[in-house]
Chain A
């Protein structure tokens, strides 16, 4: 299994540009999520999904859209990039959508710089 994969590894954007960060997992996990991590800080939840066709907002959803058309993929879209969105973005997945939370597996991250 490749686990959780993220592309691209690094991206530079200009203010106002849009882009999609890709996340895929091959473990048949129901739950997937996106976090951002700013320098010296812990991770903050942006959006999450408990299964295909179902998404919900996390702690810091503004400026980001998500969709979940398949179990494997959970892309994160920046509609109009702002310098405040400069961060490292992590995608994660796990089996459980309720009850005892299973271990979450994290991808390697995408480093985004917005100029």
Chain B
């Protein structure tokens, strides 16, 4: 079973920042936090991942709390195309890559 907790759904206005929270209170020191998203039944798409430090790439920013028990994915300027289910996943660094998906957060970006 997935070890992360996410709200089932969120809304965001187009052009505003979307902040998606994730709780991972049992995360161990060797586990990374990964974010994937799935747009309308397509295959999941990698967004970003991190271990301890905050991370940013062309798609999003990832803010990880100092105690690593929670994190927030930030889409700085959400567009309608960002409407998707977002999955937060813990992954051990040497785990052979077996992602364990929960139900994720359904983000709806509205005009």
Contacts and interface: CB of A to CB of B under 8 A. Distances in A.
Nearest to A39: B41
B43 A90 contact: yes
A114 interface: no
10 contacts: A42-B87, A43-B99, A88-B41, A94-B97, A98-B94, A99-B93, A102-B97, A106-B45, A108-B43, A109-B41
Contact of B102 (A42, A102, A107): A42
Main secondary structure of the interface of B (DSSP, over half): loop
Interface residues of B, number: 25
Given A4-B43, A88-B41, A109-B41, A45 B98 contact: yes
B96 A103 contact: no
Interface of A: 4, 31, 33, 35, 40-45, 48, 50, 58-59, 88, 90, 92, 94, 96-109
Contact of B93 (A88, A101, A107, A109): A101
A45 B99 contact: yes
B85 to A, nearest CB: 8
Nearest to A99: B94
